[in-house]
Amino acid sequence: MRTLAGMTATVASGLDEVARSNAALRAFLHGLPGVDQVGADQRAAMLGTRSIKTTAKAWALDLAIRMVDLTTLEGADTPGKVRALCAKARRPDPEDPSCPPAAAVCVYPAMVGVAAEALDGSGVHLASVATAFPSGQAPLDVRLAETEAAVRDGADEIDMVISRGAFLAGRYLDVYSEIVAVKQACGDAHLKVILETGELATYDNVRRASWLAMIAGADFIKTSTGKVSPAATLPVTLVMLEAVRDFRAATGRQVGVKPAGGIRTAKDSIKYLVLVNETVGEDWLHPDWFRFGASSLLNDLLMQRTKMSTGRYSGPNYVTLD
């Protein structure tokens, strides 16, 4: 088996070389070292037991709020609901001016125009899922047109899904070309590539998909759509964090990570922050490099924050329903 050092030398000698053919891409991805599944599970579980209290907890809660991509991806989304979500992203706790804003709002392409208006001048980013989210099962030109429309309407971040079918069938070059094409359609907008790890079956596949997305030009790699169970888990995020760490070591380019789906409590989010700090270090402890795709998480973060500032437990009656 080839070593990681060998692989990174390959990448450093030219990303284009790796992607010149499906055979070359396959040789590269399958040459990546395998993931020790038991080891990854165990390490993630061990890091999840860290106790974060008092000032460190207050800092972590604020950072987590700044990292939230406040998401609504429902068939029942209305302009009114999206505007309410944008107001919440701008000022999550209306009673406390010291509460930081969320990182971004994440909506369907049809809602981008409404959200862009509501977020204008706030500094909160606007992400749109695109490319036939959540399945990705649409013709490429349709997916590209959807991406262009979202960017044109004001999205500055695009969350695309990969074709899991093509990936699992071993047609890596197809997946690669699609990501490259979407990246081109994005223009200046940041591209987040959703791997949908719940459908990739193994950690080895997660590592391969992470590398594939990064080689193709992803600015962020994201775990899940939130429509498939299991969504984000700590060990899967660990594998992806190791991939971005190794990728930066090999190429010098830093890529962000976004776990999404299933993260509902402040305690969970702090476990992820510990994982980031212990795996890739402080460089990634910033909303530019690490995000949470979530909606109900923000409420729990706010309740915990209120508990820390007032000294009494808060309740769900004191945060918005969304």
Partner 1 sequence: MPSDRLAVRKTYKLFIGGAFPRSESGRSYPVRSASGDFMANAALASRKDARDAVRAARSAFGKWSGATAYNRGQILYRVAEMLEGRRAQFVAEVTASGGDADEVDAAIDRWVWYAGWADKIAQVHGGANPVAGPFFNLSTPEPTGVVAVVAPPDSALLGLVSVIAPAIVTGNTVVVVAAEDRPLPAVTLAEVLATSDLPGGVVNVLTGRVAEIAPWLASHMDVDALDLAGVPDRQAATALEVAAADNLKRVLRPAETPVDWAAGPGVDRMLALMETKTVWHPKGV
Helix (H, G, I), strand (E, B) or coil at 49: coil
Question: Does the annotation mark 153 as catalytic?
Answer: no
Tokens coding 209: 């998909």
Choose the stretch contacting partner 1; rule: CB under 8 A; options: 62-70, 136-144, 209-217, 307-315. 307-315
Does the protein bind partner 1 through residue 311 (CB under 8 A)? Answer: yes
- Work out which of 1, 97, 141, 313 binds partner 1, going by CB under 8 A: 313
What CA dihedral angle connects 246, 230, 222 and 149, to 10 degrees?
Answer: 160
Could you identify the residue written with the tokens 């459908």? 199
Instruction: For the CB of residue 95, give the shortest distance to partner 1 in the complex, in Å.
Output: 13
Cβ–Cβ < 8 Å for 319, 312: no
Cα 209 to chain centroid distance, Å, stands at 14
**Which is nearest to 134 in space by CA: 113, 168, 159, 117?**
159
Residue 320 has what DSSP assignment?
-
Question: Does the annotation mark 246 as catalytic?
Answer: no
CA distances from 243 to 19, 97, 210, 246, 250 (A): 18, 38, 7, 5, 10
- Which residue number, 251 or 314, has a Cβ lying nearer to partner 1? 314
Supply the DSSP string of 74-124, one letter for each residue: -TT--HHHHHHHHHHHH-S-TT-TTSPPPSEEEE-GGGHHHHHHHHTTS--
How far apart are the C-alpha atoms of 182 and 163, rounded to whole Å? 12
Question: Does the annotation mark 81 as catalytic?
Answer: no
- Which residue number, 141 or 313, has a Cβ lying nearer to partner 1? 313
Choose the stretch contacting partner 1; rule: CB under 8 A; options: 130-138, 174-182, 240-248, 314-322. 314-322
- Which residue number, 75 or 315, has a Cβ lying nearer to partner 1? 315
Instruction: For the CB of residue 166, give the shortest distance to partner 1 in the complex, in Å.
Output: 43
- Work out which of 286, 314, 320, 322 binds partner 1, going by CB under 8 A: 314
- Work out which of 239, 312, 321, 322 binds partner 1, going by CB under 8 A: 312
**Mask of contacts with partner 1, 257-296, x by CB under 8 A?**
----------------------------------------
Does the protein bind partner 1 through residue 316 (CB under 8 A)? Answer: yes
Instruction: Point out the residues that are catalytic.
Output: 159, 222, 258
Q: Which residues bind partner 1 (CB under 8 A)?
A: 311-318
